[in-house]
Amino acid sequence: MPRSTARREEILTVAGELFRQKGYHATSMQDIADRLQLQRGSLYAHIDSKEELLFEIVDRAADRFLEGIERAWREGRTARERLRRALAAHMSVIADHRDTASVFFHEWRFLRDDLRRRIQVKRDRYEARWRELVADGVRRGEFRAVDPRFAALLALSAVNWAYQWYSPEGPLSPAEVAEAFADLILQGLEGRGAPATAELAARAGAAASPGSAPPGAAGADDGAGSR
């Protein structure tokens, strides 16, 4: 199989979109072919299997997330700054590669054992980086003596879950969401003075039309109920 041709990229893009909207199992090769105005068998001139599509989408997402935290680590000076950058990087991936990221979180478990294991390795490395980042902050005295596991998990949960509700069409940029979370995670609910997100709060509140659910809805995606 050619690793990368224009047609193949088209297929991957469409597959990513459909996998996110309908789920891997509920998306048929027919669905993908229809969007490209192709016969379903014709896809196999470009790919080996449906599962290959899933793997490639998930693998690319894993690489993007990993790249993000590696760069955050390299480019940040303090633990505080690194955490902010890591949150921002994660949000960026979700914003810029919405389909891919969503499939990464939702559908990776449908990969067969060997492929899933390869993804698991990257997931584990990603999470380990987060824990190191927090542990380093504790060691430096920037953070309280919290359990790095829980603290990393809190930060990660916040941004992991974002694929469920974040929309690039909403009023907030990925950077702004990351900053709001960073503020909360660093300072907590019971703290001194006004949070950095005071102004954001106003904006988000103003823009939130009822039913559109930003942010706070653990919300329904588009497309899911189509079939």
What residues line the site for DNA (CB under 7 A)? 2, 5, 7, 27-31, 37-46, 48-51
Report the residue number, 30 or 212, with the smaller CB distance to DNA. Answer: 30
CB under 8 A, 24+ apart: contacts of 146-152: 151/185, 152/127
**144 contacts which partner out of its own copies, DNA, none, CB within 5 to 8 A by kind?**
its own copies
Please state, as a whole number, how many other Cβ atoms lie within 10 Å of the Cβ of residue 185.
17
Minimum CB–partner distance for residue 64 and its own copies (Å): 15
165 and 218 Cβ atoms separated by less than 8 Å? yes
CB under 5 to 8 A by kind: which of DNA, its own copies, none does 180 bind?
A: its own copies
- Measured CA to CA, the distance from residue 43 to residue 49 in angstroms comes to 9
State in angstroms the smallest separation of the CB of 22 from its own copies: 8
Distance in angstroms between the alpha carbons of the first and the last residue of the chain: 31
Kindly tell me which of 51 and 142 has the beta carbon lying closer to DNA. 51
Q: How many CB atoms lie within 10 A of CB 14?
A: 21
Contacts of 205 (CB under 8 A, 6+ apart): none
Q: For residue 212, is it left (φ>0), alpha (ψ between -120 and 50) or beta?
A: alpha
* Rounded least distance, CB 22 to DNA, Å: 10
Give me the least distance between CB of 225 and its own copies, in Å please.
Answer: 4
Burial class (CB in 10 A: 0-12, 13-18, 19+), 57: buried
Contact criterion met (CB below 8 Å) for 46 and 2? yes
CA distance 13 to 4: 12
Least Å from the CB of residue 28 to DNA: 3
- Out of its own copies, DNA, none, what residue 55 binds, judged by CB under 5 to 8 A for its kind, is none
Rounded to a whole number of angstroms, the minimum distance from the CB of residue 111 to DNA is 12
Q: Residue 221: which of DNA, its own copies, none does it interact with, CB under 5 to 8 A by kind?
A: its own copies
Of 43 and 178, the one with the shorter C-beta distance to DNA is 43
**Binding partner selected for residue 218 from DNA, its own copies, none, CB under the kind-specific 5 to 8 Å limit:** its own copies
Q: Which does 42 bind (CB under 5 to 8 A by kind): DNA, its own copies, none?
A: DNA
